[in-house]
Amino acid sequence: MPVATSITTRVHVAIAGAVQGVGFRPFVYRLAQEMGLHGWVHNGAAGVFLEVEGNEETVRTFVRRLESDKPAMALIQSLEATFLNPVGYVDFQIRASTDGEKRAFVLPDFATCPACLADIFDPANRRYRYPFTNCTNCGPRFSIIASLPYDRAATTMNRFVMCPDCAREYHDPSDRRFHAQPNACPACGPQLALWNEKGDVVATRHAALLATAEAIRDGKVVAVKGIGGFHLMVDARNEDAVRTLRARKHREEKPFALLLPNFDQARLYCSASETETRLLRSPECPIVLLRRRGPSDLAPSIAPDNPTLGIMLPGNPLHHLLLRALDAPVVATSGNLSEEPLCTDEHEALARLAGLADFFLVHDRPIFRHVDDSIVREIAGRELVLRRARGFAPLPISVGGDLPPILAVGGHQKNTVAIAVGSQIFLSQHVGDLESEESQRAFASVTTAMQSLYDFKPQTVACDLHPDYHSTQYAEHSGISVERVQHHAAHVLACMAENQIGPPVLGIAWDGSGMGSDGTLWGGEVLHVTNTDIRRVAHLRPFRLPGNDKAVREPRRVALAILYEIFGDEVVEVDSPALRAFTPTELTALLTMLRRRVNAPVTTSAGRLFDAFASLTGLRQVTSFEGQAAMALENARVSTNEEQPYPYKVCPKENVLWLDWEPAVRALLTEPTTPAIASARFHAMLVAMAVDVAKRVGEENVVLSGGCFQNRRLTEGMIGGLRGAGYRPLWHQRVPPNDGGLALGQIMAAQRRKD
C-alpha cells in the first residue's frame, strides 16, 4: 500500500525494559532532532513514553531506529507504537518524570531475552538447559501473579525457596536478575516431568524434554504445559499425526498454528515483511499470520486451502529447548477441546485432555491465570491484534481524563472483559466463546481476578443489548446498576478510544451480527457519533437467515435468502451454484421458512453478505468454522489490482439509507466471471458504499470496526478509498476489531451516559 506523504501522523510509543538510567531520553532527543520531528519524551512508572509527529514515512523510520540505534546498555523489552492524529507540536522536549502516577502496573508475560537465551545454551552456565530461566527483562508475570504488589510471595513461585546463588542475584542491584520475582535455577526452581496418559511419570528433567521430542518425532500427540497454559503438539510434517489431532480435537478444517525452531524456518515456509518480521521476533511473541510460500513438506491438513499460515517462534526457554532438540516445525494448538478454555493445571489436563494427548510434558510451577497465544496480522503496514492475550494483556489503554469505576463484561464470542481505573482501561486477556460451562467458569474467574488484582469495585456494569448472552445475564445478576450498550456502538467507541479520537466521527461497524436497538440482528451498520448522540445513518439492505444459527454455518442458505429477496418465488428459476448445493426437498423446506417468515430472523449483517457472495461465486457452500467463507472470498486472488466495483444503490428509507446489494447480485448472475474477479468487485463495492455514505454525512474522521475488518483486503481497500476521497480513516491496532474489543467500547458508552 503506497504511503501518502501528504498525510501527517503522530506516534505514541511506550517502551518497557531496561531503558531508564542508560541515556535513553537524550538518545531519543538526538534522534528526533536529527530527523526533524517534534514531540516529547519522559520517564514514567512503567517505562519511557514518547511522542513524535511528522510525515508517516519519517515517523515509521523513527520508530524502527528507536530499536536499531538504541544505546548499547538499553534493553527494550516491549515497544508499543500507536499511530494517532497529529496535534501540532512545535519542538521536541524532554519532559519531567511523572513518578506521581505510580499506578501498580502488571506487565504481560514476555519472551525470553537474548541474554537468558545465551545462558540456557551455554554448557558452562549454571542454567544450561534449564527451562525456567528468566530475568527482569523476560519471563512470566501476568500468568503467575495473584495479587499486587508484584513480589514473589504474590506469585505461584512462592512455593520455591531461592538457593544462595539465586538469592545473591536477586539482591544485587547490578545483576540482570535483581528483583526478578520468578528467578530460579536447576538447584532451586521448578522441574519438568513427562507423564503418560495415565499420569505415571515416564521421565524427569532434561530426559523428559528429550523423551518429548522423541514422542513427537514418533507421531504422538503431546500436551505441553507452557507459560499461560497447555499446547497440544504434533510433528507438523506428519500428515497422519496432524489428522489424528484434528479427529481427537473435533476440529475439521480450522487452521492450526505452527511453532518453528527459528526465524530461518519461518522464512522457508512463509514470506515476511519488515513489520511481520518484527512481530515474529517481538517480546509479545504472538502467532503471526503470514503468506505461505509455494509447496512445502508441511502436512496438507495443517491449514487446508489456506494461503496463510499462523507462525510463532519459541517464546520461553522450554519451547526453545524443545524446538532445538526437534529442529523441525510442530503444530502447537491450544490444549483444549474446540472452543473450550485453555487447560492450565496438569491434573486438570490429565482429565480434560484424556483421549486427546498421548503424553503430558508438565512442570510444578502453577499457572495462576490462563493466557492464550496472541494472534496478529499486518494490515496497512501496521500490526492488527486479532486475539489479545500473551504479551499484550493486561497493558492498559489510556483514555485521558478520569473514568468512573465501570466493569464491562464484553460480548458472547471471543469474550474479554474490561475495567476502568482512573484514566486507564485494563482489557483482560482473551477468554473465548461463552458457549460451554467451562468457558463460562473461565469468564467468571477472569472477571473476578481482574477486579481483585486492581482492588476494583465497580459502580456500574456495562454489557451488550443481547439478553441471551451469558455475559449479559452475568451483568443482570451482579446486583450492580447495569448499562446495556448496543453492539455496534461499542465496536465504534472501542476503535475511537484506541485511537484517542472524540466525536464527531462516522463509524462503520461491519461484523457477523449483534443485537440492534430495534431487536433485529445488525451487522452492516454506519453510525454517526456526535457528542450527544449515536445515530444509525445507513445499513445494508436487510435479508433473512433461514434456520437462524444454521444459516451462519451454511453460506448457501444466506445466498438463497438474498435471491429470494430479489426474485421471490421465481428464485427456483435462477441458475446459481448456491441453489445447486441443495436437494429439492431442502430447497422446498427453506423456501417455506422464507415465505412464512418462520425461524428466519431479519439481519443487515455484512459478515453474512460475505457468506452469500462466497456461495454465489461457488467458493464455499457450507463452512466448518467461523469466518471460513469470508476468508475464502478474501483469499481469492486476482492478477489485476483494479476491478470495477459491482453496482449497488443507496436508497433513502425514512431516516436511514439502505445500502442495496441487489444490482451487485444481478450483475454476478448475468455476467459470468471467475470467483477471483467477483471477489475483487465485491470488496470494491463495499469500499464504494462506505465512501458514498462518508460523502453524504461529511465527517472527516471515519472509524472502521467490527469483525469484517480482520479482512486485510477490505480494510486496506477502505483506507485507500477513504483517503482518496479526502477522509481520515481510523482502524484498530492493539485492540481487536472483532468482539474481543467490545468491552472497551462498552466502558466508553457507559461513561458517555454518565457525563
Considering the complex, state which of residue 116 and residue 408 has its C-beta at the smaller distance from Zn ion. Answer: 116
Closest distance to Fe ion from the beta carbon of 648 (Å): 23
Q: How many chain residues touch Fe ion (CB under 5 A)?
A: 3
Closest distance to Zn ion from the beta carbon of 126 (Å): 8
Identify which range of 356-364, 366-374, 462-470, 739-747 contacts Fe ion by CB under 5 A.
739-747
CA angle 361, 364, 365 (to 5 degrees): 110
Query: What does the alpha-carbon distance between residue 195 and residue 744 come to, in Å, rounded to a whole number?
Result: 41
The residue behind cell 524446538 is 323
Going residue by residue from 187 to 206, which x/- string records binding to Zn ion, judged by CB under 5 A?
A: xx------------------
Query: What does the alpha-carbon distance between residue 120 and residue 438 come to, in Å, rounded to a whole number?
Result: 37
Binding of Zn ion at residue 163 (CB under 5 A)?
A: yes
Going residue by residue from 278 to 317, which x/- string records binding to Fe ion, judged by CB under 5 A?
A: ----------------------------------------
Most distant CA pair in the chain, distance: 84
Element (H, E) at 6: none
Q: Tell me the three cell numbers of residue 443.
A: 469468564
Instruction: Report CA Rg, the chain.
Output: 26
Closest distance to Fe ion from the beta carbon of 428 (Å): 17
Torsion region of 619: left, alpha or beta (phi above 0 gives left; psi -120 to 50 gives alpha): alpha
The option from Fe ion, Zn ion, none interacting with 87 (CB < 5 to 8 A, set by class) reads none
Considering the complex, state which of residue 601 and residue 663 has its C-beta at the smaller distance from Fe ion. Answer: 601
By CB under 5 A, name the one of 119, 169, 611, 739 that touches Fe ion.
Answer: 739
Binding of Zn ion at residue 116 (CB under 5 A)?
A: yes
Closest distance to Zn ion from the beta carbon of 138 (Å): 4
- Looking at the chain, the number of H-run helices and the number of E-run strands are 23, 32
Considering the complex, state which of residue 163 and residue 566 has its C-beta at the smaller distance from Zn ion. Answer: 163
The option from Zn ion, Fe ion, none interacting with 138 (CB < 5 to 8 A, set by class) reads Zn ion
Amino acid identity at 2: P
**Three-class secondary structure of residue 723 per DSSP:** helix
Q: Tell me the three cell numbers of residue 119.
A: 545462558
- Residues within window 497-526 making contact with Fe ion, judged by CB under 5 A: 511, 514
Identify which range of 116-124, 295-303, 369-377, 643-651 contacts Zn ion by CB under 5 A.
116-124
By CB under 5 A, name the one of 15, 52, 76, 185 that touches Zn ion.
Answer: 185
The residue behind cell 512545535 is 90
Considering the complex, state which of residue 16 and residue 420 has its C-beta at the smaller distance from Zn ion. Answer: 16
Residue 74: what are its φ and ψ, rounded to 5°? -75, 140
Burial of residue 256 (number of CB atoms within 10 Å: 0-12, 13-18, 19+)? buried
Q: How many chain residues touch Zn ion (CB under 5 A)?
A: 10
Considering the complex, state which of residue 163 and residue 587 has its C-beta at the smaller distance from Zn ion. Answer: 163
Closest distance to Fe ion from the beta carbon of 413 (Å): 8
By CB under 5 A, name the one of 48, 52, 135, 612 that touches Zn ion.
Answer: 135
Give 442-473 as a DSSP string.
Answer: HHHHHHHHHHHHTT---SEEEEES-TT-HHHH
Considering the complex, state which of residue 645 and residue 736 has its C-beta at the smaller distance from Fe ion. Answer: 736
Considering the complex, state which of residue 144 and residue 703 has its C-beta at the smaller distance from Fe ion. Answer: 703
Task: Give 304's contacts (C-beta < 8 A, 6+ positions apart).
Answer: 253, 255
Return the closest-CA partner of residue 50 out of 80, 8, 73, 7.
80
Closest distance to Fe ion from the beta carbon of 349 (Å): 32
The option from Fe ion, Zn ion, none interacting with 511 (CB < 5 to 8 A, set by class) reads Fe ion
Element (H, E) at 528: strand 521-529
The option from Zn ion, Fe ion, none interacting with 739 (CB < 5 to 8 A, set by class) reads Fe ion
Cis peptide upstream of residue 149 (ω within 30 degrees of 0): yes
DSSP state of 731: -
Return the closest-CA partner of residue 135 out of 156, 102, 153, 111.
111
Q: Please state whether beta strands 701-705 and 728-730 pair in parallel, antiparallel, or not at all (unpaired).
A: parallel
The option from Fe ion, Zn ion, none interacting with 482 (CB < 5 to 8 A, set by class) reads none
The option from Zn ion, Fe ion, none interacting with 185 (CB < 5 to 8 A, set by class) reads Zn ion
The option from Fe ion, Zn ion, none interacting with 11 (CB < 5 to 8 A, set by class) reads none
Per CB under 5 A, residues contacting Zn ion are 113, 116, 135, 137-138, 163, 166, 185, 187-188
Per CB under 5 A, residues contacting Fe ion are 511, 514, 739
